[in-house]
Structure 1
Amino acid sequence: MTLTPADADKILADHFAPWVLGLGLTVEETGERHAVLRLPWSEALARDGGGLCGQALMAAADTATVIAVCAARGGYGPMTTVQQSTSFQRPVVGADVLIRVRVTKLGKRMAFADTTLTPEGAAEPAATASTVHALLG
């Protein structure tokens, strides 16, 4: 089964905590082993100094990885984060963030993914992440 962006938005609505939904993520694109989500700019997610807080970026990357893994599997299945490593390279101020996830390995029990978080219109990412999820079902 091919997972459409509408299917992925439904997965977000049905399976994520209210505080995650409060990030306002939307699914822009899904493919065989990837997904692109949008994190809209929000003053509520900014820290002192006006930059988007790292916690919001990490939560968005983790959530986008779930969607990419669902796309790779052809639908939703329960999973949990085992590891996430995030490197922040520059602040995000006043711009939506495009979160591009590529599933690099999909096994029976584990999924591995690489993510770039790039402010809309920017040439360079603001952050990158490497994530591992355990597949529970």
Structure 2
Amino acid sequence: MSRVTPEELDRIAREEVPYVGQLGVRFENVGDGEVTARLPFRDDLLRPGGTITGPAMMGLADIVMYGCVLSRIGVVKLAVTTNLTANFLKRPKPGDLIARGRLLKCGRRLAYGEVSIFSDGDSEPVCHVTSTYSIPPENKAS
């Protein structure tokens, strides 16, 4: 069972992670260690060549992984990214992107997971991300 809802993650993205709020990421599904989110298409996310920018995809992956961590441990504001590796697999279509993330391991101090990003309606990922999050000690978690 998840410790946060999609609505809570939407609020956190808007209010506490302003860049992600500006991207307009919307959380669609949250389970225990699993999150699905949507990045709605906007023209200002395009780069030359008519494809969605890598930084937008990495921002989407990072907030999805943050959601995966919070879904497991609850709202801990000081959980932070310590590593994020993005592999761009193919050019995304100019349209919404769907990100599906899941934790592979969550310990007391570190969480590790992966995010696959798809063009809406496609079954092949356009980007695959692995990420590690640092979880603060309980007395510093708020």
TM exceeding 0.5: yes
Hey, which bits of structure 1, 4+ residues long, moved more than 3 A? none
The aligned counterpart of 2:6 is 5
Distance 2:27 2:91 in 1: 23
Counterpart-to-counterpart distance in 2, 1:38 and 1:135: 25
TM-score, scaled to structure 1: 0.93
Deviation at residue 76 of structure 1 after TM alignment: 3.5
SS at match of 2:123: coil
Counterpart residue number, 1:94: 94
Computed over aligned residues only, the root mean square deviation of the Cα atoms, in angstroms, reads 1.3
Corresponding residue number in structure 1 for 2:48: 48
Q: Which amino acid aligns with 2:4?
A: L
Mapped to 2, the partners of 1:117 and 1:76 lie a distance apart of 25
Asked if structure 2 preserves the Cα contact closer than 8 Å seen for 1:84 and 1:129, the reply is: yes
Aligned to 2:37: 37
1:1-137 to 2 correspondences below 5 Å: 2-17=3-18, 19-136=19-136, 137=141
Counterpart residue type for residue 14 of structure 1: E
**How far apart are residue 104 of structure 1 and its match?**
0.8
Task: Report percent identity of matched pairs.
Answer: 26
Q: Structure 2, unaligned stretches of length 5 or more?
A: none
Contact persistence 1:11–1:76 (CA under 8 A): no
In the TM superposition, what whole-angstrom CA distance separates every residue of 1:75-120 from its partner, at most 9, and x where no partner exists? 3432111111110011112221111000111111111111100111
- Letter aligned with residue 33 of structure 2: R
TM-score normalized with structure 2 length? 0.90
Task: Tell me, in whole angstroms, the C-alpha distance in 2 between the residues paired with 1:33 and 1:106.
Answer: 9
String of CA shifts for 1:19-52, please: whole Å, max 9, x gaps: 2211110000000111011011111011001000
Hey, what's the Cα distance between the residues in 2 that align with 1:77 and 1:22?
A: 19
Aligned residues: 136
